[in-house]
Chain A
């Protein structure tokens, strides 16, 4: 890893994003729109709003960054820029971490704005601090980036890439404990849920919701998600080949 190459690559990716005003507007606006819907849906059921909004704050960055990254990486592959980059001194890890950091920054902004609105405008109530919610949201976003980088290797077209969202994200969201508590699932479903990273992310968020101070369980969960990020990035690096047929 080369810090200079990593930082210029991160800068390049953020610059690309900054030229795309509409994407920025969507990244920031869509979570706010959904939070608003949620607020009015559970108008008089405050505890339910608190429970779902909290999980949504953490899960939304995961979904958006997964999508954005898998398309961005697919573009690098199909436009020939990836082939060109691999003939330069840039290392594979510099490129992948560049994506992780750049979209992690974007996710931090997204999560900060969404959290501000959720707490101040909609009166979201958690025992733990909003800072921890944003931290977990960013870790989730980076998980989305890492899985997006990995999945883009298995897609040849944008059509295929977007189909990976239902494959990778939906089962995780369904089994993360938001709809049915994980310990009330059939044994085999719970077992699947135990190996999906988003289950840990959601548990960490619920810990923040229920406890004033960060708990050991929360830190363990964050570490599990971070570990999954690392594994996904290493696997993604293995799919980047300098030589192709």
Chain B
């Protein structure tokens, strides 16, 4: 399988603090890869670097064969920021149609994306009047519209009701089966088991890059939370 993202020795500094310390990883095409780690571990910074909005100190990132953030990628990459970034003074439909049109898609694609995130009934509502969960789903709809080749989703399921969360994960896998590469971050370990591959990150360093099964096997536990803990301890002992 070819890789969708190749990160090589990535170093990112924010202010005087080093956020990512020479991170290297690859993400295969057509997969759902989970980026997991505690808050402040560098997940968002890595995602911003992959979509090309983060200033990087050194290292290289190739996305779908091109340097991250280069012009041809802007048609192929969908990005969901952690805080919902949609226009509060537009309706859900107006927001999604606008982002759809930026990618060259029409009203039908926008309506499909709205239905996919379960907002069909609220399509005519102003985003500013939505609940927190609906608000972030409106933002998600703007990212998935037009089925980009790579979807970078920063904590898409936070605050969503469990039934809906399950539905969203089912859709991520459906999109991946159709060839979309999905990188999704979470700080909730129970979502890790839903991914085909896991990147575990802590304090800007990669702790594991493997399938959930392999992570469990190498840590010798079935509980991914516990596995994460063991891998951290093991690394601390080694250091």
A residues sitting closer than 8 Å to B (CB atoms) are 4-5, 8-9, 12, 15-16, 19-20, 79-81, 83-90, 242-245
On whether the beta carbons of B51 and A87 are closer than 8 Å, the reply is yes
- In whole angstroms, how far apart are the Cα atoms of A19 and B102 in the complex? 21
The interface residues of chain B lying within 8 Å CB-to-CB of A242 are 52-53, 69
* Smallest beta-carbon distance B26→chain A, Å: 21
- A86 near B102 with CB under 8 A, answer no
In the assembly, what is the distance between CA of A87 and CA of B151, in Å? 12
Q: For A84, A85, A88, A89, which residue has the most chain B Cβ atoms within 10 angstroms?
A: A84
Which residues of chain B are within 8 angstroms of A89 by Cβ–Cβ distance?
Answer: 74-75, 102-104
B208 within 8 A of A: no
A89–B76 CA distance with the chains assembled, in angstroms: 9
With A16-B90, A245-B55: A8-B14 Cβ-Cβ less than 8 Å: no
Bound CA span A89–B73, Å: 9
In contact, B53 and A20 (Cβ under 8 angstroms):
no
15 contacts between A and B (CB under 8 A): A4-B101, A8-B101, A15-B90, A16-B87, A79-B83, A80-B83, A80-B84, A80-B85, A88-B74, A242-B52, A242-B53, A243-B53, A243-B69, A244-B54, A245-B54
Q: Write out the residue numbers on chain A whose beta carbons fall within 8 Å of the beta carbon of B90.
A: 12, 15-16, 19
Question: When each residue 94-109 of chain B gets 1 if its CB lies under 8 Å from chain A and 0 otherwise, what string results?
Answer: 1000110111100000
User: Closest 6 interchain pairs by CB?
Assistant: A80-B85, A8-B101, A88-B102, A12-B98, A80-B81, A84-B85
Q: Which B residues, 83 to 132, have Cβ-Cβ distances below 8 Å to chain A?
A: 83-91, 94, 98-99, 101-104, 126
Shortest beta-carbon distance, B111 to chain A, in Å? 17
Closest to A2 in B: B102
Knowing A16-B87, A16-B90, A89-B74, say if A8 contacts B98 (CB, 8 Å).
yes
List A contacts of B86 (CB < 8 A). Answer: 81
CB within 8 Å for A87 and B87 given contacts A8-B98, A8-B101: no
Given the complex, which residues of B lie within 8 Å of A20, measured CB to CB?
89
Task: Report yes or no: B14 in contact with A81, Cβ–Cβ below 8 A.
Answer: no
Q: Is B172 an interface residue (CB 8 A)?
A: no
* Smallest CB separation, A68 vs chain B (Å): 13
**B74 neighbours in A (Cβ, 8 Å):** 87-89
B183 lies within 8 A of chain A by Cβ: no
Q: How far is the CB of B129 from chain A (nearest CB, A)?
A: 11
A30 to B77, CA, bound (A): 44
Specify which chain B residues have a CB less than 8 angstroms from the CB of A5 in the assembled complex.
101-102
Contact among A19, A81, A90 with B126 in the assembled complex (CB-CB below 8 Å): A19
Q: Is B162 an interface residue (CB 8 A)?
A: no
A245-B14 in contact (CB<8A): yes
Q: How far is the CA of A135 from the CA of B17 in the complex (A)?
A: 52
CB distance from A95 to the nearest CB of B (A): 10
Closest to B91 in A: A19
Interface centre among B15, B53, B54, B81 (most CB of A within 10 A): B53
Q: Is B79's CB under 8 angstroms from A84's CB? A: yes
A-B contacts besides A19-B89, A84-B85, 7 pairs, CB < 8 Å: A15-B90, A19-B90, A79-B87, A80-B85, A83-B85, A88-B99, A243-B55
Closest to B88 in A: A79
Shortest Cβ gap from B128 to chain A (Å): 9
Q: How far is the CB of B99 from chain A (nearest CB, A)?
A: 7
- Tell me whether B81 and A84 are in contact (CB under 8 A): yes
Chain A residues lying within 8 Å of B55, measured Cβ to Cβ, are 243-245
Does A90 lie within 8 Å of B102, measured CB to CB? yes
Selected from A19, A79, A81, A87, the residue in CB contact (under 8 A) with B52 is A87
Q: How near does chain A come to B152, taking the closest CB pair, in angstroms? A: 9
CA gap between A244 and B51 in the complex, in Å:
12
Least distance between A92 CB and chain B CB atoms (Å): 12
Which B residues touch A85, using CB under 8 A?
Answer: 102
Most B-side CB within 10 Å, residue of A80, A81, A90? A81
